[in-house]
Amino acid sequence: MNSFNILLKAGLLIALFLFPDSLIYGQPHKILRVKNGQDATKHVSSKDRFKYQDFQSGRLHYNNGKFALSRLNYCYLLGEVIFINTQGDTLALADNNQLRYAEIGNQRFYPFPENGFVEIVEDYGVIKLTKKVRYQKDGIEKKGAYENNNEIGSIYNASTFTDITGRTTILPPDNTILLKLNTSYFFMDVNNRFSKATKTNLVKIFWKNKNAVEKYLDDQNIDFSKEEDLKKVLRYCSDL
| Ranges of each domain in the chain | 6-197, 198-240
Tell me: pLDDT of 74 over 60. Answer: yes
* Mean pLDDT, the chain, integer: 77
Per-residue pLDDT tens over the stretch 193-210 = 999 999 999 999 999 999
- 174's enclosing H/E stretch is none
For residue 150, the model assigns a pLDDT of 40
Question: Which of the pair, 153 or 237, is modelled with greater confidence?
Answer: 237
Q: What is the largest CA-CA distance in the chain?
A: 57
Q: 167-175: long-range contacts (C-beta < 8 A, 24 or more apart)? A: 171/36, 171/140, 172/36, 172/142, 173/36, 173/37, 174/36, 174/142, 174/143, 175/36, 175/140, 175/141, 175/142
Per-residue pLDDT tens over the stretch 155-187 = 333 445 443 334 444 555 567 778 888 999 999
CA separation for the pair 63, 73 (Å, rounded): 21
Per-residue pLDDT tens over the stretch 209-228 = 999 999 999 999 999 999 99
For residue 167, the model assigns a pLDDT of 45
Crossing angle between the packed helical segments 227-238 and 210-220, to the nearest 10 degrees: 150
For residue 233, the model assigns a pLDDT of 97
156 near 20, Cβ under 8 Å?
no
pLDDT category at 142 given cuts 50, 70, 90 is low
| Mean pLDDT calculated for residue range 130-149 | 70
Q: 217-226: long-range contacts (C-beta < 8 A, 24 or more apart)? A: 224/185, 224/197, 224/198, 224/199, 225/185
CA separation for the pair 153, 162 (Å, rounded): 5
CA separation for the pair 138, 87 (Å, rounded): 35
